[in-house]
Structure 1
Amino acid sequence: MIAYDVEDGIGFVRLDRPQARNAMNKDMGAALLEVATTIADDDSLRAVLITGNGPVFSVGGDIGAFADGVADLPDTLTRMALLMHDAIRILVRIDAPIVTAVHGACAGGALGLLYPADITLAAAGTKFATGFGRIGITADSGNTWYLPKFIGIRRAAEMLFEDRVIDADTAADWGLINRVVPAEHLRTEAEAVVRKLAAGATRSYGEMRRLLHNSWTTTVDQALSEETAALRRIARTADAPAAIDSFLGKQSPTFTGK
């Protein structure tokens, strides 16, 4: 249900339930959490790429699984949400930068895999939607916290309350994704981005990831203090002084992630 491979310091995560349009059930949520935990425990990773197999990235939660558990719907929904939420928490906190590449459709809880990403690419023609109101449930996977911060609270309300479906160009214009690429070039472009990041300043990226995510909940005084502490930590790494020497010598730095 979730395929995971490591190559050249890059973790490749692929939603792999194409027969169900990568709809997320309890087993898929458990698999995603297991992969996220594996990623967090691997200090050798330099970057992560998240993709989906089949015609779409993911249609979100498996409504059939909701129906199967309707007799105990509160526990069914809670179990599924907790798995996804724990996976998101872990992915947000890792040092390695994350690239997510989506195609076809990205809906409901699957939007949660955009939020830990530092760079998100979408194939032209991809559709984005929430869809929670259509089945009478509330949003999960960070949609009520991240979505308004990415696109603004008015637009988030429009997607959540009016079930508005937006295309890839609108998603880029609103700030939900970084950019749109031709569908046939999505994988090539995504791999180029993730490989560039994997060759970059991993420890620096990790510090900046934390600072960016914390920026939504910290004061400016806290942010400035955290930046100072991060600079001090980075100054103790092997990469920072070596890169500074390379810059002064007008050479391209080689980062080791140490």
Structure 2
Amino acid sequence: MSVGIEIHDGGLAHVTLSRAEAGNAIGLETAHGLREAAHACAREDLRAVLLDGEGRSFCVGGDLREFSRFSGESLERHLLAVTEALHDALRTFATIDAPMVAAVQGAVAGAGIGLASAADVTLAADDASFTAAYTAIGYSPDAGVSWFLPRLVGPKRALDLLLTNRQVPAAEAAALGMVSQVVPADRLAAEAARTAEVLRRGPTAAFGATRRLVASGMTADLGAHLDRESAALAAAAASATGREGVAAFLGKRAPEFTRVPPRS
């Protein structure tokens, strides 16, 4: 199994790329695994998702050994099948309310950058390095990389990374805005689990509304976006979560946001 998923009581999903021997390269099986994991998350009443990868590297990008077994039209069909599944996974993760935390280490290349960028909070080990890699082999981006990177670092820097394929160490990735935080490699798993737990205890519906507002606000007309903000805020304030948040603030206590029931 190239992608594992565990859904814990309390609403935390742990999705793991598990092809350590291949640097968690993404071929058809892994793309299907990610899609299945994303759909499983969408079916559950989740409060947070943690995405990580086994082994020395988070994800080295596409599985070029697999791709090299095809040529011509068969290669085109194969890559369309891979990206269809992978992109469906990214779209599905983006639609759920539960925020996603990604923990990345070692090589983060190609589609690995897309997966890392899709997370709401991305923690990088201090040994992580990022390389677009696509144009170095005559490919163009997938996995949302050409959508995420310009929004994270600006179009000029994005083109620098996509065209030169220069290696970006973790500290520079944080300075550019590609990741949220850099942590010691031996603390990555613990810090990612802690961050996911903080989010799991939070106001999930408000997180979902906030994620959607930030995503749509990147391209929306200001007036239309302000209308969406108004509607989202009013709905959040009237919800049980919003009422509890205000009551806790006024009562000078920690909020107790609604939790999912234990899994049977």
Q: TM-score, normalised by structure 2?
A: 0.95
- What is the one-letter code of the residue matched to 2:90? I
Residue in 2 that maps onto 1:243: 245
Report the more deviating stretch, 186-195 or 233-242. 233-242
| 1:26-50 deviation line (CA, Å, top 9, x unaligned) | 011011001101101112x100000
Q: What residue number does 1:168 align with?
A: 170
Cα deviations by residue, 1:204-251 (Å, 9 ceiling, x for unpaired): 111101101111121111111111111122133211112211111111
Q: Compute the displacement of 1:188 (Å).
A: 0.5
Looking at structure 2, the residues matched to 175 and 257 of structure 1 have their Cα atoms a distance apart, in angstroms, of 32
For the residue of structure 1 that corresponds to 2:51, the secondary structure is strand
Q: Show the counterpart of 1:230.
A: 232
Within 5 Å, give how 1:1-258 maps onto structure 2: 1-7=2-8, 8-43=10-45, 45-71=46-72, 72-256=74-258
In 2, are the aligned partners of 1:239 and 1:257 still within 8 Å (CA)? no
3-state SS of 2:146 partner:
coil
CA distance in 1, matches of 2:17, 2:221: 37
Asked if the contact 1:121–1:177 (Cα under 8 Å) also holds between the matched residues in 2, the reply is: yes
> Which stretches in structure 1 are left out of the alignment for 5+ residues?
none
Whether contact under 8 Å (1:202, 1:257) holds in the other structure is: no
Q: CA deviation at 1:53?
A: 0.4
Asked if the contact 2:25–2:60 (Cα under 8 Å) also holds between the matched residues in 1, the reply is yes
Describe the SS at the equivalent of 2:50.
strand
Q: Which residue identity lines up with residue 166 of structure 2 in the other structure?
A: R
C-alpha distance in 1, partners of 2:159/2:182? 23
Offset of residue 116 of structure 1: 2.4
Q: 1:150 Cα deviation (Å)?
A: 0.5
Q: CA deviation at 1:125?
A: 1.6
The answer (yes or no) to whether the contact 2:174–2:180 under 8 Å persists in 1 is yes
Q: Is the 8 A contact 2:117 2:179 kept in 1?
A: no
Secondary structure at the residue paired with 2:117?
Answer: coil
- C-alpha distance in 2, partners of 1:227/1:115? 24
Divergent runs of 4+, >3 A: none
Name structure 2 gaps, 5 residues minimum: none
Q: What RMSD, in angstroms, separates the aligned Cα atoms of the two structures?
A: 1.2
Partner Cα distance (2:259, 2:214) in 1: 20
Structure 1 position 124, deviation (Å)? 0.2
- Percent pairwise identity: 37
Decide whether the 8 Å contact of 2:118 with 2:148 is kept in 1. no
Structure 2 CA distance for aligned equivalents of residues 226 and 73 of structure 1: 43
**Separation (CA, whole Å) in 2 of partners of 1:129 and 1:91:** 23
Q: Which has the higher contact order (CA 8 A, sep 6+)?
A: 2
**Aligned equivalents of 2:48 and 2:226: distance in 1?**
26
SS at match of 1:184: helix
Whole-Å separation in 2 of the counterparts to 1:257 and 1:232: 22
Whole-angstrom CA distance in 1 between matches of 2:40 and 2:216 = 23
Secondary structure class of the residue paired with 1:212: helix
CA deviation map 1:34-89 (0-9, x unaligned): 1101101112x100000000111010100011101224221122111111111111
How far the C-alpha of 1:257 sits from its partner, in A, is 5.0
Q: Scaled by the length of structure 1, what TM-score is found? A: 0.97
